[in-house]
Amino acid sequence: QVQLQESGPGLVKPSETLSLTCTVSGGSVSSGSYYWTWIRQPPGKGLEWIGYIYHTGNTNYNSSLKSRVTISVDTSRNQLSLKLTSVTAADTAMYYCARETGGPFGSGWTYYGMDVWGQGTTVTVPS
C-alpha cells in the first residue's frame, strides 16, 4: 500500500524559498500512470491545487503560482519535491502531496481521483 509523507521546515521567512519533500513508500515514484500532485490549504479555507508532475516528467502548475513553483522528482530517493520562491504570508498553509492515477482511455484520457494523500505539513510565513 502506497503511503506519502511530507516533510520540510515549518517556518519560512518572507521572500525566501519554501522547500518541501514528499517521500513515497510502498511504491515507486517513477512507475505507473500517476500524477504526483501538491495541494495546499490556508487556515480555515479550501483546497488549492499547486501543480503536478506526471510519471513522464511533464509538469503543470496553477497559473496563479506558475512563476514561483517548481515540482520535481528524485527517483533515487523515491521523493517528490516542491519549491516555492519569494514566499509571503499568503503562502501560509497546510501543504499536501497526493497521487492521482490517469492515462489513456479509449480515444481519450481519464482520471481516477487522488486516492492517496500524505498527512500534510504546516508551513507558516510570518507577516
Partner 1 sequence: SYELTQPLSVSVALGQTARVTCGGSNIGSKFVHWYQQKPGQAPVLVIYKGVYRPSGIPERFSGSNSENTATLTISRAQVGDEADFYCQVWDSSYVIFGGGTKLTVL
- To which H or E segment does residue 123 belong? strand 121-123
CB of 119 to partner 1, least distance (A): 6
Give the span between the Cα atoms of 22 and 114, in whole angstroms.
Answer: 15
Q: Are 18 and 88 in contact (CB under 8 A)?
A: no
Total number of residues binding partner 1 (CB under 8 A)? 22
Q: Given candidates 48, 78, 103, 122, which one binds partner 1 under the rule CB under 8 A? A: 48
95 binds partner 1 (CB under 8 A): no
Cell numbers at 40, concatenated: 495546499
Residues in touch with partner 1 (CB under 8 A) = 37, 39, 46-49, 52, 60, 62-63, 96, 102, 110-115, 117-120
